[in-house]
Homo-oligomer: A and B are copies of this chain.
Amino acid sequence: MAEALSSDKITQELTKVTGWSLANDAKSISKKFQFKDFREAFSFMTACALWAEKADHHPDWSNVYNRVDVTLSTHDAGGVTEKDIAFAAYMDEITA
C-alpha cells in the first residue's frame, strides 16, 4: 500500500506539478480547474474517471458549469501519497 508522504516531501513533489496546493492539515492536495464550458469540463472529468478506475484511486471533486475543483488524498494511507502526485500530474498533462 502507498505510504503517506511527509509535508516536506509533498512540498518537494508539488514543485513538479502546476498550481496544486497542500491543505493546512497536509492530508490532501487541491486545485481549481477552469474550462471554456461544461463540455470541456466534463470531458476532463471523463478522462480523469478512466484514469481513476484503472488506478483504483478516485478524486474528491465538484463541478459547476465550466469549473472543476479537485481534492486528492489517499484515504487508506491517511494522507497524500505518490498516487495523488501521479494523478495530479496526469490532470496537469491533459489540461496543458
Residues of chain A having any CB pair with chain B under 8 Å = 38-39, 42, 45-46, 49, 52-53, 58-65
Expressed in whole angstroms, the minimum distance between the Cβ of A16 and any Cβ of chain B is 26
Cα–Cα distance between A38 and B61 once the two chains are bound (Å): 12
A38-B52, A38-B53, A61-B62 given. 10 additional CB < 8 A pairs?
A: A39-B53, A42-B49, A45-B45, A46-B46, A58-B65, A60-B62, A60-B63, A60-B64, A61-B63, A62-B63
Cα–Cα distance between A64 and B49 once the two chains are bound (Å): 12
Cα–Cα distance between A53 and B42 once the two chains are bound (Å): 10
Can you give 18 contacting A-B residue pairs, CB < 8 Å?
Answer: A38-B49, A38-B52, A38-B53, A38-B58, A39-B53, A42-B49, A45-B45, A46-B46, A58-B64, A58-B65, A59-B63, A60-B62, A60-B63, A60-B64, A61-B62, A61-B63, A62-B62, A62-B63
